[in-house]
Structure 1
Amino acid sequence: MKNDPKVAIISTVKGTLEELILFINYHLNIGIDKIILFFDDPNDNCVDHIHSTYKNVHAVTCTDEYWLKRSSHRPELHTERQVINANEGITIAKELGCKWIIHIDRDELIYSSKNFKSVLEKSESDVIRLSIREAIPEIENYKNIFEPRIFKIPNPSSRKLKLAKFLGCKSVFYGDNYFKGHTRSKVAIKITSKIQKIAIHQPLEYDKKNTRFIDTKEIKLLHFDSIGFHDWYQKFSNKPENFSKKPNVKRGAHRKLLIQEFMDAQSKGIQHLHSLYKESYMISQNKIFILSLLKMAEKISINQKLFETPFI
């Protein structure tokens, strides 16, 4: 709509061109005005295609020169690079005339059953936390990571946890951890002088007295974490090296366990890795039925046309 605010998404990306195109098409089709991408690999072959195909995508190649100007060197941890890029992205978004930014990963989609921009415009808040959902893989191989349509709902009560385990869903959990990925979601941030610096999930430096926060159920963040064996393997094959380099980096206990289990299975061979993925991530239809009855999972239908190239 004419009076809707201009919104940008910011993401540090590395992956296949095919899935990046789906990510871009989807967000442009739902109404995102500008997509600001930071290519983590300075030699990424996707950059030229993105430049020549999309006028509303601002692509930044993270070369040695780029890091020298902003950090004196390329940060070793991916999360550290993301924070620098996110804040650089805000500067770019402001120059492009955007009023709001949302920092997300390449395996996440913004979803709303209504005009999400009107939700932002009507809000009196400066920071709006999206409602997180985590995609459930039912099979071992997908054409792309955005295919699943059943999602976990966060923060089930202790009563629901006990009941789900009693009804045969014990393998779905790591202790009491229901999600495999993050549960904090991401936030839409109004570009304002109140917020000086952001982190991955929230503002980092801001006017604590006057900055207004709110959670919303009207806009969801769909997280497609480790969808299919190949996506899972690609993500986790880098984690053991990072884990050994930075053992003191803050990680959830269940994330440490997942990394350790991957390392153990990897040392035993590919079949052990396939078995681990099936046991740790895939959920059968029977268990999904139980989780749905307990309102711990829901189906979200995404219009497939949203993944097609937009006419803009």
Structure 2
Amino acid sequence: MAVPAPSRLQALHSSAASCVEVLAASAGPAFPYLRGWSFHFDAPDTHHPKVCVQTSTSAGLDQILPWLYYHKVVGVAHFLLFVEGKAAKPSVAGVLESIPGVKVVYRTKELEEQQARSRIWDETWLSGFFYKPCNYELFVKQSLNMEMAIVMARESGMDWIMHLDTDELLYPGGASEYSIRRLLADVPEDVDMVIFPNYESSVERDDIKDPFSEVSMFKKNYDHLPKDTYFGMYKEATRGNPNYFITYGNGKSAARIQDHLRPNGAHRWHNYAKSPNEIKLEEAAVLHYTYTKFSDLTSRRDRCGCKPTKEDVKRCFMLDFDRA
């Protein structure tokens, strides 16, 4: 039920210093702040598509930098970081802006005014999340940011776009190389969207400092499991939780950039003009490092400013685990 993370994740930390110029040492996890990254995945190449990853984040450099570096290694050409909180501070955003292929987008008054005119506010499928606090507000914000990212990615000449959080890593299983570009290059031309089933981390210790190198076990998504294994070991895998995964279980999708593309929540894309042709990958996955540190829970709570009452917690959070 649990699978080891790719050994390449651990190798990134030992190889980083020899590959790039070290800017400064991290005060937390032992991952350097980096510059001088010489990747050329945005160069013209008819055989390998250019991939853009978009995120909305308030994380610090200790989380964002290894996430960026890993995805650079697996072939992501362009990053659109919509930043708030800690991520928007000059000491953090300044470092991010210095990295080639990274575009930092701040939540300014102008951005909010532009997003207030979005056609997303007319979407009935999202209306249940409008004008609500905390997690609901974040979900709407993510959709608005994804909508803007489509235009920005297209202007940058990207071929594919994907929304990922900074606690998620793409695992290009099934490709002939350890490369997201190689994986998407092999997708038939008539396919508009590709679903990466998600795996959820199984944390084995309570003193994790650097999830990407220290967490190595994941629950496989049921899409990647024989049904008798999934149902036969369900009780053992859930350990008393009401759901198989603590958070989401429907994966994340990458979309081919084309006319009329739109977000369909934080996990999917759709198209205003047609029903997209979508496939699900049999080996590739999103590795979700879910609540690997206790501070992941407290920081989520602190961002919301909700009172510690059952009524307020229900108003702020969607998931039972978050509410607990």
Same fold (TM over 0.5): yes
Q: Aligned equivalents of 1:137 and 1:236: distance in 2?
A: 20
Measure how far apart 1:208 and its partner are. 3.5
Return closer, same or farther for 1:228/1:101 CA change in 2, 3 Å cut-off: same
Instruction: Tell me the equivalent position of 1:193.
Output: 259
Within 5 A, what are the aligned runs for 1:1-312? 2=45, 3-41=47-85, 43-45=88-90, 46-52=92-98, 54-71=99-116, 76=133, 77-113=137-173, 114=177, 115-124=179-188, 125-146=191-212, 147-155=214-222, 160=229, 163-164=232-233, 169=236, 172-175=239-242, 177-209=243-275, 211-238=276-303, 241=306, 247=314, 251=318, 255-256=319-320, 258-261=321-324
Closer/same/farther in 2, CA of residues 51 and 116 from structure 1, 3 Å limit: closer
Gaps of 5+ in 2: 1-40, 119-129
TM-score, normalised to structure 2's length?
0.69
Amino acid at match of 1:181: T
Work out the CA distance in 2 between the residues paired with 1:234 and 1:189. Answer: 31
Structure 1: stretches of 5+ with no match in the other structure: 262-312
Distance 1:238 1:36 in 2: 22
Q: Which amino acid aligns with 1:80?
A: V
Secondary structure of 2:251's match? Answer: coil
Tell whether the 8 Å contact from 1:139 to 1:228 is kept in structure 2 after alignment.
no
The 8 Å contact of residues 238 and 245 in structure 2, kept in 1 or not, is answered as: no
Q: Report the alpha carbon displacement of residue 66 of structure 1 after superposing the two structures with TM.
A: 1.4
Letter of the structure 1 residue corresponding to residue 261 of structure 2: I
Identify which range, 10-19 or 73-82, moves more after superposition. 73-82
3-state SS of paired residue (1:141): coil
Q: Which amino acid aligns with 1:112?
A: P
> Is contact 1:145–1:231 with CA below 8 Å preserved after alignment?
no
Q: Measure the CA separation in 1 of the matches of 2:94 and 2:69.
A: 16
Structure-2 residue corresponding to 1:292: none
Distance apart, 1:227 and its partner CA:
0.5
**Residue 249 of structure 1: how far off its partner (Å):** 8.0
CA distance 1:259–1:116, shift in 2 (3 Å): closer
Contact 2:195 2:280 in 1 (8 A): yes
| Deviation, structure 1 residue 65 | 2.3
1:44 is displaced (CA, Å) by 2.4
Q: Greater shift after overlay, 193-202 or 151-160?
A: 151-160
1:212–1:161 Cα change, 3 Å: closer
Alignment-mate amino acid for residue 147 of structure 2 = N
Deviates most, 97-106 or 226-235: 226-235
Residue type of the alignment partner of 1:97: G
CA distance change for structure 1 residues 186 and 40 in 2, over 3 Å: closer, same or farther?
same
Residue identity opposite 2:218 in structure 1:
F
Deviation at 1:165, TM superposition (A): 6.4
Distance 1:82 1:162, change over 3 A: closer
Measure the CA separation in 2 of the matches of 1:238 and 1:215.
34
Relative to 1, partners in 2 of residues 1:92 and 1:198: Cα closer, same or farther, differing over 3 Å? farther
Provide the rounded CA distance (Å) in 1 between the counterparts of 2:103 and 2:280.
Answer: 29
Number of residue pairs matched? Answer: 252
Tell me if the contact between 1:13 and 1:40 (Cα under 8 Å) persists in the aligned partners: yes
Aligned-residue offset at 1:232: 2.8
Instruction: Give the TM-score taking structure 1 as reference length.
Output: 0.71
**Which one-letter code corresponds to 1:212 in the other structure?**
N
Amino acid at match of 1:51: E
Question: 1:226·1:235 contact (CA, 8 Å) conserved in 2?
Answer: no
